[in-house]
Amino acid sequence: MLWLRRRGIAFKLSLLVLSGVTLVIALILALNYNVTRRLMVEKIEENAFNLAQSTANRINILLKAAEKVPAGIALTIATLKPDEKELKNLLKDRLAQNPELFGIAAAFAPPTQPPTLDPDRNNLNEPKLHSLYYIRAADNRIKQSPINYDYRFHDWYQIPKVLQQAIWSEPYFGESGRIIMTSYSFPFFRKQPGGQEFAGIVCVDLSLNWLRNVVSSLKIGKTGYAFLITRNGTFVTHPKLDLIMNETIFSIADARNNPQIREIGRSMIAGEKGFTAFTSLTSNQKYWMVYTPLTANGWSIGVLFPQNELMADIHNLTSQMLGLGIAGFFLIMLVILVIAGQITKPLRALAKSVDKIAGGDLETAIPTLKTRDEVGRLTLSFAEMQQSLKEYIKNLTETTAAKERIESELKIASEIQMGILPKIFPPPFPSRPEFDLYATIKPAREVGGDLYDFFMIDDQHLCFTVGDVSGKGVAAALFMAITQTLVKTQVKAQTQRSPALTLEQVNNDLAKDNPSMMFVTLFIGILNIVTGKLEYCNGGHNPPYQLASGTTDNVLPLATTDGIALGVMEDLPFSSKAITLQPGEAVFVFTDGVTEAMNSRDELFTEPRLEEILNRCSSEPATRIAEVVMQAIDDFSTGIPQTDDITMLVIRYNGKTEG
């Protein structure tokens, strides 16, 4: 979809609207086609049933009329007992009166026969076959035709005799072999003392040519047709003449392996009605087929309606609507393109100006629009943005320059601050093997607030301090420098070398002029490098640790002196305490940046974790102890920015050595 994202608003608007229009047109066409087709099929089904039923009724009327002829003759023979001449006249008259009949016959059961008028013959009937048969000749004349076979064994005679009821025969070829006929046989009886006795058959023959004409007269479109099958499924009429009297609907189904045709055939010979889709027996053309039975003889007529012809009007209508839809589509597309072009033209001009502004050309003119629509308001907003951007860049330039000056000054201040702190390691006093000393600081910002210092007061006394100024930045650094200077001045000015007195004097000096109310926590210690005596005073600072030797728990916090931070207020009392370090023992002094370092789970480093680490490395050199603790802090707070300065000072007392 990247290509679509790169397209303009006009294209996207056109695509969106035209997609909607196309969808609506498609839905309308589909709905119209489906509804119209359904209504058309329903109408076709209704008309098909009417047409098929009317044709069946027409055939039934003719068949019923034909049935009345032998029934009347049989009744006449049974009741009036006409002689042979009267019977001949009766047969000829009935054949003449019914032009749809091809022939008419009266076949008597032996030995019964009508009385003869021949004076040379007696009235006793001889046991022989006797029949009268008249047919309609080609010139429409009626003539007598002898039955030169034993009719007693033919279906038209034997079946109604056995069933003792009238029947229609299956179609057959007449004696000429050219005319397909069917016969209706009606039995007649004579009363006897014990009941009635079968006396013979009156039979009428119908040529199926007239039936074929009736069925073939059904013209449904150009390719629609009708066919007729018997009770056994034999084709009596069909447009394809090869099927007539040669195939059944079931043999066609077997040849095509088509179960649908077989089911339709079963339904037809069962005397059912139906409407279904059907494929032509002679082609693959699709039809709708309606079938209905002939009640007279049990045959069934099927009428096929070509789908493509009957649905042609719907297809033409749909094609016309589709054409109109396509024309409307292009018309709407043209209108949308024109409207979208008018809408997006000022946007394109505005986009060009904005591109130049984005490239740095803030003097590019923004196109002016007099309209108050969304595009006009957008143009006005860009013009205001351009002016604001100019002012912002001007201010940003000035601010950047000021920031660069501040950063430069902070860098210089950081260098000055780091320059104030002693950093000659290792060792800071090569000529003093009595002790090993190392200190390190890691500021959280360019300029930190922590401090450490150490210096020799005289040949036997070492002074060291570690402090933490409130706040950060330049102010904290200046306060740290002042504190460091005051401590060094007071220590060297005193003759008693008292850490408590030193902190009292420094506190008074810091608290006298401190409008910003800054303060510093400070630990100061004075170590006699000859005796190992350490006198110290704690002004609100974290208690340092004594790293003892020869004990199970070799990390012990120094006892507090209950002092508070310096610079809070004047004339605060401070007290000192002293311990004696044995050779090999050390003191670890640190700021709260060590124990308050934080990890990703917002957990603090804490004193117990620090004590555990110091226990493991208490016998290491001073430099190594500081490195191990710093590495542990870095591992603990991996990925978390440092929030406070980290300062550590380690001093190990080695004792008096020879030389």
Percent of the chain with pLDDT over 70: 90
pLDDT band at residue 72 under the 50/70/90 scheme: very high
- More confident position, 141 or 29: 141
Closest CA to 201 of 99, 112, 136: 112
Q: Which of 282, 310, 338 is the last residue of a domain?
A: 310
Chain mean pLDDT for the chain = 84
399 lies in some domain: no
Q: Please tell me whether residues 503 and 597 are part of one structural domain.
A: yes
Q: Please tell me whether residues 276 and 151 are part of one structural domain.
A: no
What are the pLDDT digits (tens) for 214-226?
887 777 778 888 8
- More confident position, 92 or 497: 92
pLDDT exceeds 50 at position 126: no
375 lies in some domain: no
Read off the pLDDT of each residue in 28-45 and give the average, rounded to a whole number: 79
What are the pLDDT digits (tens) for 470-517?
877 777 888 888 899 999 999 988 877 799 999 999 999 999 888 888
408 lies in some domain: no
Cα separation, 440 vs 623, in Å, equals 9
Q: Please tell me whether residues 462 and 604 are part of one structural domain.
A: yes
pLDDT band at residue 447 under the 50/70/90 scheme: low
CATH number at residue 233: 3.30.450.20
What are the pLDDT digits (tens) for 191-215?
888 788 899 999 998 888 877 888 8
Q: pLDDT at position 196, please?
A: 85
136 lies in some domain: yes
Cα separation, 482 vs 191, in Å, equals 159
Q: pLDDT at position 4, please?
A: 61
Q: pLDDT at position 532, please?
A: 93
Q: In which domain, by residue range, is 168 found? A: 14-114+127-207
- More confident position, 283 or 62: 62
**How many domains does the structure of the chain reveal?**
3
φ, ψ (nearest 5 deg) of residue 473 = 90, -160
Cα separation, 71 vs 104, in Å, equals 12
pLDDT band at residue 123 under the 50/70/90 scheme: very low
- More confident position, 5 or 254: 254
Percent of the chain with pLDDT over 90: 34
Read off the pLDDT of each residue in 50-65 and give the average, rounded to a whole number: 86
231 lies in some domain: yes
pLDDT exceeds 90 at position 345: no
Do residues 114 and 83 lie in contact, with contact meaning Cβ atoms separated by under 8 Å?
yes
pLDDT band at residue 125 under the 50/70/90 scheme: very low
316 lies in some domain: no
Q: pLDDT at position 429, please?
A: 84
Residue type at 478 in one-letter notation = L
Q: Please tell me whether residues 263 and 147 are part of one structural domain.
A: no
What are the pLDDT digits (tens) for 558-604?
999 999 999 999 999 999 999 999 999 999 999 999 999 999 999 99
Q: Please tell me whether residues 262 and 201 are part of one structural domain.
A: no
pLDDT exceeds 70 at position 363: yes
Q: pLDDT at position 552, please?
A: 60
Q: Please tell me whether residues 198 and 285 are part of one structural domain.
A: no
Q: pLDDT at position 124, please?
A: 41
Q: Please tell me whether residues 481 and 535 are part of one structural domain.
A: yes
What are the pLDDT digits (tens) for 259-273?
888 999 999 999 999
The top-scoring range by mean pLDDT among 324-333, 551-560, 629-638 is 629-638
Q: pLDDT at position 499, please?
A: 94
Q: Which of 259, 281, 310 is the last residue of a domain?
A: 310
pLDDT exceeds 50 at position 6: yes
* Residue-wise DSSP of 186-211: EEEEEEETTEEEEEEEEEEEEEHHHH
Q: Please tell me whether residues 174 and 284 are part of one structural domain.
A: no
437 lies in some domain: yes
Do residues 494 and 458 lie in contact, with contact meaning Cβ atoms separated by under 8 Å?
no
Burial code of 596-608, b = ≥16 C-beta within 10 A, e = fewer? Answer: ebbeeeeeebebe
Read off the pLDDT of each residue in 323-332 and give the average, rounded to a whole number: 81
Q: pLDDT at position 577, please?
A: 95
Lowest mean pLDDT among 143-157, 328-342, 603-617, 618-632: 328-342
